[in-house]
Amino acid sequence: MQTPTITTMSGDSRQTAFREYVLPELDVMLRVARRLTRSPHEAEDLVQDALVRAYRALDRFDGRYPRAWLLTILRNTHYNRLRKRTPDLLEDELAQKLPGRGADARDGTSEAALGSGFDPLVHDALKSLSIKHRQVIALVDLDGLTYQEAADMLGIPPGTVMSRLHRARAKVREHLEAAGFGQETS
Amino acid sequence: MTWFRRGAITPLSAEPDCHEVARVLQAFLDGELGPDNAEKVAAHLAHCEPCDIESNTVDAVRDAIRAQRPDIDVDELGRLESFVNDIDRHAT
């Protein structure tokens, strides 16, 4: 018996397949959307828009890497919403508003986007990082993306994500060690 | 789209030394090493105390950072799950 492809599936099966791809990724989509929009309300709206686009594009999805597929759609949806909101903005000006493209405040890695500060010491250490270091920490450590997924979001090679992450964590470690972290003896 | 396959890092030697392990330690802890390399790193850490201490420290820093992860509102997530369950209606 031949396995049905997404294009030949009935409406119900199509929805079931979509749910299987999407439900495990909703948390990470929402986290990244918050980082992009810096607004909980707008983030939920952005995720909904991206989900509708993803559902309409389901026939073209090969079923591999659903998280990367969804994050690409999320990012493109965010880009289109920005463009719609500011139609007079030139393409390169718009690109500056995306994460990893310039030092615009909307890169979502500002102090407020770094977490709720459960530990003031760690929070201070993160605040002290440069934007490009904060970006990788935010995407990998706080949002839970892989190196490749973070690289796609930032438009940089995965090797650069790895090296920036290494430097960023080393700086956090220095900050924590200067405050006595990990130096107690048992 | 190109993919950075887990394990795309150069294969380690059969018995990597401390220098080699230090180079890939972060990727190992992040689960970004392929199974062959990961097995070699794990074997090295099992018998090298200085590398094991370094690994625990790097891990502790990573955990401290990850503890800063903001909570996601369960109601918000619930609304999105309902949205997905009713996606056919929203998309038409």
* pLDDT tens figures, A123-181: 899 999 999 999 999 999 999 999 999 999 898 999 999 999 999 999 999 998 888 76
Rounded CA-CA distance A163/A133 in Å is 10
Rounded CA-CA distance A14/A107 in Å is 35
Name the residue facing B61 among A31, A146, A176 (closest C-beta). Answer: A176
The verdict on a CB contact (< 8 Å) between A141 and B87 is no
pLDDT band at A69 (very low <50, low <70, confident <90, very high): very high
CB pairs under 8 A between A and B: 121
φ and ψ at B70, to 5 degrees? -65, 145
Q: Which pTM does this prediction carry?
A: 0.78
The predicted pLDDT at position A110 comes to 44
How close B87 gets to chain A, by Cα (Å)? Answer: 7
What number is the ipTM of this complex? 0.84
Query: What is the average per-residue pLDDT within B22-45?
Result: 94
CA A9 to each of CA A66, A96, B46: distance values in angstroms, whole numbers, following the listed order: 18, 41, 50
All residues of chain A having their beta carbon less than 8 Å from the beta carbon of residue B26 are 162, 165-166, 169
Residue B23 forms contact with A (CB below 8 Å)? no
Residue B10 forms contact with A (CB below 8 Å)? no
